[in-house]
Amino acid sequence: MKSKRHSCPVCDYPGLLEPPRSPSGGGSYEICPSCGFQFGVDDDDKGITYTAARATWIAKGSPWTSKGTPQPKDWTMKKVDQKAPKKKTVKKTVKKKKA
């Protein structure tokens, strides 16, 4: 029987062995082999959000971080980059003063 895999909320890698957060809310302490995020340490102890970690990882070129787990052949960074959170642009409206 194949065990259920879980997705990383930072990079969407679908091969985590445990859910990043337990039902009670604690981190799994698993390190994602793709982006290197450690659940329960990077978020809870260091205060890094998933969005910030994702932006940093993408800015570094979305590298495969694990030295012990080989990158799957079907794991492409292009898919990840397309799912990256997009920055919201806020348009400022300036009211013209009546003369």
The token pair at 91 is 């348009």
Cβ neighbors of 83 (< 8 A, separation 6 or more) are 12
pLDDT higher at 84 or 26: 26
pTM: 0.74
Q: Which residue has the higher pLDDT, 79 or 89?
A: 79
Count structural domains, the chain: 1
2-16 residue pLDDT tens: 678 999 999 999 999
Residue at token pair 């990043």: 20
Supply the range of the domain harboring residue 14: 1-99
CA-to-CA dists, residue 75 to 58, 66, 82, angstroms: 15, 13, 13
Whole-number Å distance between alpha carbons of 73 and 85: 24
